[in-house]
A and B are shown apart, each in its own frame.
Chain A
Amino acid sequence: MRLALVALVFFAMPALAEESPPIAARMPAGATAYFEVQGLGQRVQALWESPLADSIRTHPAMLKFLASPEGQKFQIGQGMLQGMLGMDVKTLLQEIGKGQIAGAMYGTPQNLLLVLEIDPKLANRLVGAIEFASQSARNEAVAKDDKGPAIFQVGKAFVCIEPTVTIISPSVELVSRVRAREGETMATSAQLAEAHRLAPGAPLAFGMLDLKPFHKQMAENGKPKDFGQALILGAFPHELRSAPWAAFAFDLRPEGRDWNLRMEGVVPMPEQRSEKVQAAFGGTLKDLPFELPEETLAVVRMKRNLRSLWEFQDDFIAAKALPQLVNFSGTFETLTGLTFSEEVLPRLGGEVTFVAIRRTWADGEPTPEVKLPYMALIWPIKTDERMRQSMDLAFQQVMSLIGIQEKQMSRKFLVMRESYKEIAIMTAKYPSPTKGEMEGRRAMPIRYNFEPAAAVVGEQYVIASSTAVLKRLIDAREGSTKAPAGKNAGFWLNPQPAVAMLRANRSALVAQHMIKEGVDKATAEQVIGLLLDAASMLTEFSFTADESRAATGLSLHATLTAPEAK
């Protein structure tokens, strides 16, 4: 599977012509949260005319919805909107999106502000529609002076319609400030400038979030609750507790049969980063020393400095979870005879990889019937003979405990050792019952997706959900899988085999939906069918993180592709 990120050119595309001054110049400075949307009108048009939008419009589920009572209500609502505004929803979005849109929150949700660069005639019609819907008449008398057009109240919101922009807020003071063009504005915000630098060009939306108000809460509740979480999140939660702000950019563009969705985020790191935090960064990912098969449906990779996370655990893990580490360390020593922190940790590499590979179950149905994929955990380790024996012993002991439990259910669970291409594999499995055993069988036969196997392959310790997949990885050790440049964590999904796996479990998904939503089978079939159809449009998905000295960068990319016409 190709792990390297496709070099995308979204943000390098030429900027849309923006002749009006930036809308940030109308937004008061000091926003706790801020976003801007630009070029929405053109984007709505392009998305609407794309093949994917066409396949959504003509999807049987959509046609069925439109024919349903709810769909009829929806269409009547659309008709009413058209009657009031003289345009349909798509045209309305295009009209609203012709100019820039900005939204901000100043401290509390009561201090929300929305500024739209729209035609005042349209703004008046929109307000009229809101008045009609909320059955409340506008109050013209709220503010009328020489600082600009009148401010009036509709329901709980205050509105001012200027020739170029419309200002809306539950706070009349905020509307007054924008109208009077008083004080500093977001146009001079260094953080917003950073957001622009994050995504040069013309993303659909970008914005920033002031993190300082959340520091106290994050200091109290932001620590990972266990070592597993700490491992996954690395130093990020610790950094968030002192990071001043975060910025993001979002874009959604049609391209041929595709819709490309991309989000970029950046959290700048404090200038005075402590040594231990600095030490917790694990560096960037290296190529994985296995060539992953094409049916790989998901890969999670992360580079962490385990020694630092362990050594400075007080900083990285919630206090109540610390005893877990003591217990883990004790249990580990009991099982292996090795001291985790002294003898194992220094030998463990920081690159942790989890892979899920599609399993077709062509060789027979599983029991229980959930068709899970193969799974494997790959962890670099420098072993010597003593350590390898200790790890084998630990594996045997854990499997034996499972075996005892299974024996109580009259099931055999055998722990074995075999050799494959000169590599010793520890494995355990439910053996197929012999004919004689079938005669005397007292419990149901098990064919779980659980035949755990473990081996040291080169300098990697691999624990897999089955011997078969471990052997495949051993076969694949001659090749390698490229790591994306400059990233130190990521999740990559290969949608096709992932959707195939979901489809193989369709019946179970329908039943679970019936249970959880309390709906009938026909409805559950429809919902699951729709979700699977939607999922099969996803042709690429990745989420990566890049923790550098100056900032943590987050990047999400997804591609949705219109299905080929039948």
Chain B
Amino acid sequence: MHEQLKPWEPTRDNPWDFDAAAHLWRRAGFAAPARTVKQTLALTPAAAVEKMVDGPGKEEAAEELEFVYQSVIGANDEAGARAWILMRMLRGEHQLREKIALFWHGHFATSLAKVRDLGWMTRQYRIFLELGLGKFAPLLDRVARDPAMIRWLDNETNRKGSPNENYAREVLELFTLGEGNYSEKDIQEAARAFTGWHILREQFHFSSSLHDRDEKVVLGQRGRFGGEDIQRIALEQSACARFLADKLLRFFVTPEPSAEIVTALADVLRASDYDMTATLRVLFGSRLFFAPDTRRSLIKGPIDFVVGSARALEMKKTNTKAALPLLRAMGQDLLAPPNVKGWPGQRAWINTATWLTRVRTARALAEQAKSRSIDNAALALLGRPLPGPEGKQMAGSGAGAKDLVQALLTLPEAHLA
């Protein structure tokens, strides 16, 4: 195994301390209040990673979150459905499951703007929750058969003799291999393999009469392929593992992963048969993950910023519906990624317009903040007490607790994961 992916052992210069534990919570979840981070510190790093990856056996909030889901879907309440996802992120005890669902939502970017069926869209999100930490092959297959995805990429019109290449193109370009790892001919042939993958009674339906059963040649393999075969062939490519490894590293670890570490994580992926839990266990326990340079190297997306701040400040009583316009203004509209490529992330999150909204959001969060202690708030948001001169200046400014929390939320550290 690559040196950087080997299990991290705390050292004197890089100890298992509050900052390290808070870092784990920020990346493998949506942050945590100071007292939870302190509880995590009582475990060994390896045990903490295990707990984060495996999650609690039974989630107390599960039944209530399901009640809200059924209610908002029953009422066809779009804002309610988005609020439900945010509620999950805020209250969900298996934080990594919520985080990976957001990752897959960006990866398999599908938008309500075109699908226009809230039930379908949320059912797709539930696939990410259900299968997001499992193996990639079943996830890819479920998504390929998902009505929202079929409508989003027009596979309803993909039929024998008149193939529609949209779905096949995105399977190869955005879901598995990445640009440059397939040819236009591969897409044309793969599209034929997905002919007849349609919808009936709101479910996937394989329309045998509309499926092209003739021979195809895809990525060098020849046969009378169906959609399942294309998925299998794609996963067999080394480019697929590298593509996914690169995306996982950019989302969870570092904005610019080296080619070397991408290849190393790709090996882990392939060795585990694309098992996300096994791969993330290695990743979160690695030297790379806990390296000082890795911490605060990612720019928080709007959801990460809002949900993470709310969790860090123990704002359980948060009106998640009211947060939606702010998230939209900051560039992250749940169930409506901007295009098939999902949210570009990182530097794209911050511009003059979105930064102003972040400042406005900071005020809104500070208004609801429970923490009255500036030190606790600082510890939760920044991972450390305020440094001497800066802290003294803020504490001595005569500002109220809410103003101080707002000031903390506008510090660069509060926007870096």
Contact = CB atoms under 8 A, between A and B. Distances in A.
Interface of A: 368-370, 408-409, 438-444, 507-508, 510-512, 514-521
A514 B316 contact: no
Given A440-B200, A441-B202, A508-B75, A515 B68 contact: yes
Contacts of B71: 369, 507-508, 510-512
A368 B319 contact: no
B340 interface: no
Nearest to B202: A444
B322 interface: yes
Contact of B83 (A510, A515, A520): A515
Interface in B66-94: 67-68, 71-72, 74-77, 80, 83-84, 87, 90
Given A444-B202, A511-B68, A518 B318 contact: yes
Contact of B317 (A439, A440, A512, A518): A518
Contacts, number: 74
Contacts of B64: 514, 520-521
A517 B319 CA distance: 5
Interface in B346-392: none
Nearest to B86: A515
Given A512-B80, A515-B320, A368 B68 contact: no
Interface of B: 61, 63-64, 67-68, 71-72, 74-77, 80, 83-84, 87, 90, 116-117, 119, 147, 199-202, 315-322
Ranked nearest first, the 6 interchain pairs of A and B with the lowest CB-CB distance are A511-B71, A369-B74, A368-B76, A518-B317, A518-B318, A515-B83
B75 A518 contact: no
B74 A443 contact: no
Contact of A368 (B75, B147, B318): B75
A516 B318 CA distance: 7
Contacts of A370: 74-75
B66 to A, nearest CB: 10
A412 to B, nearest CB: 16
A519 B316 CA distance: 7
Nearest to A514: B68
A262 to B, nearest CB: 35
Contact of B199 (A442, A511, A520): A442
A213 B322 CA distance: 35
A442 B150 CA distance: 12
B75 A516 contact: no
22 contacts: A368-B74, A368-B77, A369-B74, A369-B75, A370-B74, A441-B201, A442-B147, A442-B199, A442-B200, A442-B201, A442-B202, A443-B202, A444-B117, A508-B74, A511-B68, A511-B80, A515-B80, A515-B84, A518-B90, A518-B317, A518-B318, A518-B320
A360 B67 CA distance: 23
Contacts of B320: 515, 518
Given A409-B116, A441-B202, A511-B67, 11 more contacts: A369-B74, A441-B201, A442-B201, A508-B71, A511-B80, A514-B87, A515-B321, A517-B317, A518-B87, A520-B61, A521-B63
Nearest to A445: B202
Contacts of A510: 67, 71
Nearest to B322: A516
A443 B80 contact: no
A516 B80 CA distance: 9
B117 A521 contact: no
A519 B80 contact: no
A203 B200 CA distance: 68
B117 A516 contact: no
A408 B75 CA distance: 20
B116 A408 contact: yes
A516 B202 contact: no
Interface centre among A369, A512, A515, A516 (most CB of B within 10 A): A515
A443 B117 contact: yes
A505 to B, nearest CB: 9
Nearest to B84: A515
Contact of B319 (A438, A444, A518, A521): A518
A368 B315 CA distance: 31
A518 B202 contact: no
A399 B87 CA distance: 37
B269 to A, nearest CB: 36
B97 to A, nearest CB: 20
Nearest to A446: B76
Nearest to B90: A518
B120 to A, nearest CB: 9
A370 to B, nearest CB: 5
B116 to A, nearest CB: 6
A324 B202 CA distance: 41
A183 to B, nearest CB: 40
Nearest to A448: B76
A269 B82 CA distance: 49
A444 B200 contact: no
Contacts of A442: 147, 199-202
A346 B352 CA distance: 52
Contacts of B318: 518
A438 B200 CA distance: 9
A438 B75 CA distance: 22
A370 B71 CA distance: 9
A298 B63 CA distance: 36
A443 B319 CA distance: 31
Contacts of B201: 438-439, 441-442
A516 B319 contact: yes
Given A518-B319, A518-B320, A520-B64, A444 B119 contact: yes
Contacts of B315: 518
Nearest to B69: A511
A508 B72 CA distance: 7
Nearest to B117: A443
Nearest to B115: A409
Nearest to B368: A518
Contacts of B319: 515-518
A438 B77 CA distance: 24
Nearest to B63: A521
Nearest to B68: A511
